[in-house]
Amino acid sequence: MTLVDVHIQDRYPTRVESGSDRKWITSDEPTVRSGAQEGPASAEELAEHSRNGFHIQRDLLSDQEVGACLDELKAMTDDPAIRSDERTIIEPTSEEVRSVFDAHLLSDRIARLIREPRILDRARQILGSEVYVHQSRVNFMPGFRGTGFYWHSDFETWHAEDGMADMAAVSMSIGLTDNHPFNGGLMLMPGAHRTFVPCLGRTPDDNYRSSLKAQKVGVPQEEDIAELARRHGIEQFTGPSGSALWFDCNSMHGSGNNITPYPRSNIFVVFNSVENALVEPFAARERRPGFVASRDFTPLRA
């Protein structure tokens, strides 16, 4: 019997073996938690975040800051040591970099940025507690060859493979390039974050090695996606560079391929409540490595 079995009730069973076990679960967890009411997010933004599971923070970065971050990203991808590191994910159909994980540990600029009150205090405000970085990365979607991600809930993976018990995490994606409707921008289903959709299939060992390139286990069935879309519709994150999207860990989201000449890059950071520290995985035999799911629960400080 594992520590999960002894101490933590699995409220969101997933990676089930048959369709009859795949019943939707309505979450009663608050999307905006009490405990830290003061912060940079307005009452309207918090209400939108609670209702839809996401909100957009316009003009988070200035043009100068965007340029500096893009220079930093280029230096990272040009560094042979970083490119050959396990934390760097290469596109499955090309030699282009798809993601570099542990961005806040590899880049002093990103480390300082996410500790600034305009970001850190908003994460604390949404989660109602001190926070730590569960995961950080920089993502690249090159023009013509950028591949998207199928519909999924991040929480499903973090619960199944990392041992995140509750939905007390929020993700922030800062666009470093313009997000157009046609260059693979992120799509979300407003309000679907209150429904947990269990997925079929057991978790293979070392699943992260393939899932970070193309996720096959831990994705909903097509009929689930169709019904969620019928109920909630689909919206897309668009806007000029420097804008940020904040979205709940259980938001149903995905992105299409980018066949346009316009690349899309972003900084992606997941803040988890220190009160929601990871336990043992709920549906995997082993923990994923720390660059994917940190177990350093030290509160992030300004």
Q: Output the pLDDT for position 278.
A: 98
- Rounded Cα gap, residues 143 and 273, in angstroms: 36
Asked whether residue 101 carries a pLDDT value surpassing 50, the answer given is yes
pLDDT tens for each residue of 127-171? 999 999 999 999 998 889 888 889 999 999 999 999 999 999 999
pTM equals: 0.94
Asked whether residue 4 carries a pLDDT value surpassing 50, the answer given is no
Mean pLDDT of 232-255: 97
Q: 7: pLDDT confidence band, cut at 50, 70 and 90?
A: low
Q: Output the pLDDT for position 36.
A: 67
On whether the CB atoms of residues 177 and 140 are closer than 8 A, the answer is no
Displacement of CA 235 from its chain's centroid (Å): 17
* Mean pLDDT computed over every residue of the chain: 92
- Report residue 235 as tokens: 């919206």
